[in-house]
A and B are shown apart, each in its own frame.
Chain A
Amino acid sequence: MLPTNESRTMANISVPSMTAAARPARKAANRKSSVAHDRLTVLLIFLPPALLLFTLFVIMPMGEAAWYSLYKWNGYGTPTEFIGLRNFQVLFRNAAFTQALMNNGLIIVISICIQVPLAIWLATMLAHRIPGVVGFRLIFFLPYVLADVAAGLIWRFVYDGDYGLFAAISNFFGFANPYVLADKDVAIYAVLGVIVWKYFGFHMMLFIAGLQSVDKSVLEAAEIDGATGWQKFRYVTLPLLGSTLRLSIFFAVVGSLQLFDMIMPLTGGGPSNSTQTMVTFLYTYGVMRMQVGLGSAVGVVLFIICVTLAFGYKRIFMRHD
Chain B
Amino acid sequence: MTDMSSSIRMRASTRIYLYVSLSLIAAIVLVPLLTTALGGFKTLGDLRTNPFGLPVEWQWTNYTDILFGERYWMQIGNSLVIAALTVLLTLIVSSMAAFAFAHIRFFGSSFLLNYFLLGLMFPAATAILPLFIRIRDLGLLNTYWGVVLPQVAFGLGMSILLFRNYFRNLPEELFQAAFVDGCGYLRFFWHVSLPLSRPIVATVSIISFVGSWNSYILPLIMLNSESKYPWPLGIMIYRGEYGTEWQLVLAFITLTILPTIIVFFVAQKHIIAGLTAGAVKS
Instruction: Name which residue of chain A comes closest to B184, CB basis.
Output: A38
Contact mask B69-108 → A, CB, 8 Å, 1/0? 0000000000000000000000011101101100010100
Please judge, given known A-B contacts A145-B264, A296-B130, whether A38 and B185 are in contact too, CB under 8 Å: yes
List of A residues within 8 angstroms of B100 by Cβ: 42-43, 46-47
List of A residues within 8 angstroms of B21 by Cβ: 125
List of A residues within 8 angstroms of B51 by Cβ: 163-165, 167-168
Contact mask B1-31 → A, CB, 8 Å, 1/0? 0000000000000010011011001101111
Contact mask B228-266 → A, CB, 8 Å, 1/0? 000010011001000010100110010011001100110
**Complex-state Cα separation, A58 to B115, whole angstroms:** 11
Q: Is the CB of B132 within 8 A of A287?
A: yes
From B153, B216, B280, A261 is in contact (CB under 8 Å) with B216
Q: Shortest Cβ distance from B185 into chain A, in angstroms? A: 4
Q: Is the CB of A136 within 8 A of B134?
A: no
Interface set, chain A 125-150, CB cutoff 8 A to B: 125-126, 128, 130, 132, 136-150
Q: Shortest Cβ distance from B240 into chain A, in angstroms? A: 10
Q: Say which one of A97-105, A106-114, A154-162, A214-222 lies at the interface with B.
A: A154-162
**Is B68 among interface residues, defined by CB-CB distance under 8 A?**
no
List of B residues within 8 angstroms of A295 by Cβ: 128-129
Contact mask A32-69 → B, CB, 8 Å, 1/0? 00010011011101110111011011111110110010
List of A residues within 8 angstroms of B118 by Cβ: 58-59
**Is A257 among interface residues, defined by CB-CB distance under 8 A?**
yes
Q: Shortest Cβ distance from B8 into chain A, in angstroms? A: 14
List of B residues within 8 angstroms of A130 by Cβ: 15, 18-19
Please judge, given known A-B contacts A38-B184, A145-B271, A164-B51, whether A302 and B125 are in contact too, CB under 8 Å: yes
**Is A178 among interface residues, defined by CB-CB distance under 8 A?**
no
Q: Is the CB of B131 within 8 A of A61?
A: yes
Please judge, given known A-B contacts A38-B186, A292-B133, whether A287 and B123 are in contact too, CB under 8 Å: no
Q: Is the CB of B127 within 8 A of A64?
A: yes
Q: Shortest Cβ distance from A166 into chain B, in angstroms? A: 9
Q: Shortest Cβ distance from B207 into chain A, in angstroms? A: 12
* Residues of B contacting A: mostly: helix
Q: Shortest Cβ distance from B257 into chain A, in angstroms? A: 5
From B22, B121, B130, B256, A310 is in contact (CB under 8 Å) with B121
**Is A88 among interface residues, defined by CB-CB distance under 8 A?**
no
Q: Is the CB of B122 within 8 A of A140?
A: no
Range for the number of chain A residues in contact with chain B: 35 or more
List of B residues within 8 angstroms of A57 by Cβ: 131, 134, 149-150, 152-154
**Complex-state Cα separation, A265 to B36, whole angstroms:** 15
Residue of B15, B29, B30 with most partner-chain A CB within 10 A: B29
* Residues of A contacting B: mostly: helix
**Is B227 among interface residues, defined by CB-CB distance under 8 A?**
no
Q: Is the CB of A209 within 8 A of B276?
A: yes
From A28, A60, A260, B217 is in contact (CB under 8 Å) with A260
Residue of A141, A142, A165, A202 with most partner-chain B CB within 10 A: A142
Contact mask B29-69 → A, CB, 8 Å, 1/0? 11111011001000010011011100000000000000000
Q: Is the CB of B236 within 8 A of A306?
A: no
**Is B272 among interface residues, defined by CB-CB distance under 8 A?**
yes
**Is B162 among interface residues, defined by CB-CB distance under 8 A?**
no
Please judge, given known A-B contacts A24-B176, A28-B182, A148-B214, whether A157 and B275 are in contact too, CB under 8 Å: no
Q: Is the CB of B276 within 8 A of A202?
A: yes
Residue of A68, A157, A160, A264 with most partner-chain B CB within 10 A: A157
**Complex-state Cα separation, A167 to B48, whole angstroms:** 9
List of A residues within 8 angstroms of B104 by Cβ: 39, 42-43
Residue of B21, B157, B235 with most partner-chain A CB within 10 A: B235
List of B residues within 8 angstroms of A227 by Cβ: none
Instruction: Name which residue of chain B comes closest to A137, CB basis.
Output: B272
Q: Is the CB of B236 within 8 A of A149?
A: yes
Please judge, given known A-B contacts A145-B264, A157-B250, A303-B122, whether A282 and B213 are in contact too, CB under 8 Å: no
Interface set, chain A 218-258, CB cutoff 8 A to B: 247, 251, 254, 257-258
Instruction: Name which residue of chain B comes closest to A243, CB basis.
Output: B280
Q: Shortest Cβ distance from B106 into chain A, in angstroms? A: 6
**Complex-state Cα separation, A302 to B150, whole angstroms:** 18
Instruction: List 18 contacting pairs A-B, 8 Å CB cutoff, sorted by A.
Output: A42-B100, A47-B112, A50-B97, A60-B134, A130-B15, A130-B18, A137-B272, A139-B30, A140-B25, A142-B261, A155-B32, A163-B47, A163-B246, A164-B51, A197-B32, A201-B29, A202-B279, A279-B125
Known: A150-B235, A157-B39, A283-B128. 4 other contacts (CB 8 A): A42-B186, A65-B129, A125-B22, A206-B276
- Return the 10 tightest CB-CB contacts between A and B, nearest first: A57-B153, A147-B214, A61-B127, A50-B97, A258-B123, A64-B130, A61-B130, A46-B96, A149-B232, A42-B185
Binding site for A on B (CB under 8 A): 15, 18-19, 21-22, 25-26, 28-33, 35-36, 39, 44, 47-48, 50-52, 92-94, 96-97, 99-100, 104, 106, 112, 115-116, 118-123, 125-134, 149-150, 152-154, 156-157, 160, 176, 179-180, 182, 184-186, 189, 210, 213-217, 221, 232, 235-236, 239, 244, 246, 249-250, 253, 256-257, 260-261, 264-265, 268, 271-272, 275-276, 279-280
